């Protein structure tokens, strides 16, 4: 016999979700949305193409740093202030598809991202991670990318826990300026 939903004990994990990301994910992965299709590449490929065409600047796209084979860009929907994404220019869906040069450049930029985040924000910790494949939580599974974000002991505060909201104390443009200035090159 199963326990009815209303009688089951609640745990904090019962309500952990980021439902607000659905609209973003639908936008960047839907065929034909805004005239963009999967054949035109991931959202990241389209951003790079717009920059290369002169339709978008690094600042407007929040592109932080360009390496030889990879780049670092702010997450447009961050989990917290300073949330960076690091990925190869070439759109591939798996780490094992990276060339040796791409892999080395991605890892170098992850390392430099950690240095920049620590210099700009003085966090108490840093998360670095890759979600590989849709089942692993990859929002854009066709373009492998790593997440680098600062963490503080208090960043799981009542706003996140009770109100299911994130408080970002600065706009992305300010975050972009801080991380560009702190980049270790």
Question: From CA 96, how far away is CA 83, in angstroms rounded?
Answer: 24
Distances (CA, A) of 69 to 9, 110, 164: 50, 13, 37
Residue of 65, 83, 145, 147 with catalytic role? 145
Q: What is the 3-state secondary structure (H, E, C) of 112-154?
A: HHHHHHHHHHCCCEEEEEECCCHHHCCCCCCCCCEEEEEECHH
Question: From CA 139, how far away is CA 110, in angstroms rounded?
Answer: 19
Residue 15 · residue 164 · CB < 8 Å: yes
Computed from CA positions of residues 62, 23, 134, 47, in that sequence, does the dihedral angle turn out positive or negative?
A: negative
DSSP at 67: -
Question: From CA 118, how far away is CA 39, in angstroms rounded?
Answer: 38
Annotated catalytic, 6? Answer: no
The residues annotated with a catalytic role in the active site are 145
């Amino acid at each position: 016999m199963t326990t009815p939903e209303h009688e089951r004990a609640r745990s904090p994990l019962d309500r952990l979700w980021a439902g607000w990301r659905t609209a973003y994910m639908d936008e960047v992965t839907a065929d034909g949305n805004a005239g963009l299709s999967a054949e035109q590449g991931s959202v990241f490929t389209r951003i790079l193409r717009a920059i290369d065409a002169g339709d978008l600047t690094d600042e407007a796209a929040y592109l932080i740093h360009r390496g030889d084979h990879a780049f670092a860009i702010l997450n447009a929907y961050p989990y917290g202030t300073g949330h960076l994404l690091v990925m190869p220019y070439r759109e591939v869906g798996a780490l094992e598809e990276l060339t040796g040069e791409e892999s080395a450049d991605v890892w170098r930029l992850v390392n430099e991202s950690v240095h920049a985040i620590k210099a700009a924000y003085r966090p108490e910790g840093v998360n670095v991670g890759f979600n590989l494949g849709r089942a692993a939580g990859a929002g854009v599974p066709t373009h492998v990318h790593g997440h680098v974000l600062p963490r503080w002991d208090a960043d799981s505060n009542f706003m996140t826990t009770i109100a299911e909201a994130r408080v970002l104390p600065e706009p992305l443009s300010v975050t972009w300026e801080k991380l560009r200035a702190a980049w270790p090159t």
